[in-house]
Amino acid sequence: MVDPQPMTGRVAFVTGAARGIGRAIALALAEAGADVAVADVHPARFEGERYYRLRQRVSGPEEDEPTVAVVAARGRRSLEQSVDVADLGSVEAAAARCAAELGPPDVLVNNAGIVNNIAPIAHMGAEDWDREVRVNLSGMFHTVRTVVPAMAERGWGRVVNISSVAALTPGLGQPAYAASKAGVLGFTRAVAQEFGTRGVTANAILPGLIATPLVRSMPAPLRDHYTSRAAVGRLGEPEDIAQLALFLASPAAGYVTGAAIPCDGGLSGAAREGLGGDGDAG
């Protein structure tokens, strides 16, 4: 019989957990028995962050019920923290608070990322490039450096890094995003290699186009264009990514490490067959 709560007694630290994919992962881990530290640069109600090419942002369920409250409603301990993963000091402070209030993290989910910097290489500002790479890639270095050595000392840990199919098939005007998400794959393998003999696994998930508030805010013709290229013919749901992340975070995935797993409805496979892959992937 499958254990319905395989994460009981575990503490998860999830970045970008206030909304979208990160929220779904946090809730799946809580449902499976984990206590969850909800880490996000905007942990409270959304307040007008700049998103590319969007005139109006579609709201998600997190606007009415914060992730931390839903985790608590599932009977798990939860902690909400404002964290900028691009700032090592911010990450260190959040990890220390998590350890003090919930316990040291057993599971690290690196979901925080940005994709609001759209420009061809010749016109992309150096500061814009630096910011995107620092959030999407250096942010994972900051969290791993801060929490994973202690996992290795305890002999058990799980690292789940959220990349993107853009790492394989970059979208036009997304050089910083594609480069940072491709870097996540190499970094994940490095983490797996360095800590594998001490009970810590590290894997990357490559989402396709997922129905987050950002994607649902895209112009419908653009969104439908990329949806039609997926083999399943639909957008992914945040829960699709969350269930894969839950497996990789669980004891059942102890022999899976260093893997880069697309969860994109067949989009990346279609792109390799010449059907294109020039969309914002998630």
Residues taking part in catalysis: 177
Judged by DSSP in three states, 13 sits in: strand
Cβ-count burial of 211 within 10 angstroms (0-12 exposed, 13-18 middle, 19+ buried)?
Answer: buried
At 234-259, the pLDDT tens digits run 999 999 999 999 999 999 999 999 99
Q: How far apart, in whole angstroms, are the C-alpha atoms of residue 223 and residue 187? A: 30
Please, what is the average pLDDT of the chain?
Answer: 90
Kindly give, in sequence order, each residue whose CB lies less than 8 Å from that of residue 205, ignoring residues fewer than 6 positions away.
160, 161, 162, 163, 241, 244, 245, 248, 261, 263
Angle, alpha carbons 132-22-161 (nearest 5°): 60
**pTM (2 d.p.):** 0.91
> How many CB atoms lie under 10 A from the CB of residue 77?
15
The model's pLDDT over 102-119, given as tens digits with 9 standing for 90+, comes to 999 999 999 999 987 889
For the stretch 26-77, pLDDT in tens is 999 999 999 999 999 988 765 544 444 444 556 666 667 999 999 999 999 9
Residue 278 has pLDDT above 60, yes or no: no
Sheet holding 78-82, edge to edge: 78-82, 35-40, 11-15, 107-110, 157-162, 200-207, 260-263
Q: Which domains does the chain have, with CATH numbers?
A: 11-271 (3.40.50.720)
| CA-to-CA separations, 178 to 106, 132, 181, in angstroms, rounded | 29, 10, 5
The pLDDT value given to residue 226: 79
Give the separation between CA 85 and CA 95, rounded to whole angstroms.
11
Residue ranges with strand state E in 74-184: 78-82, 107-110, 157-162
Closest CA to 141 of 190, 179, 182, 102: 190
Cβ atoms 67, 109 nearer than 8 A: no
- pLDDT of 105 reads 98
Question: Residue 272 has which token pair?
Answer: 């390799």
Q: HSE, CB side, 13 Å, CA atoms: give it for residue 58.
A: 12
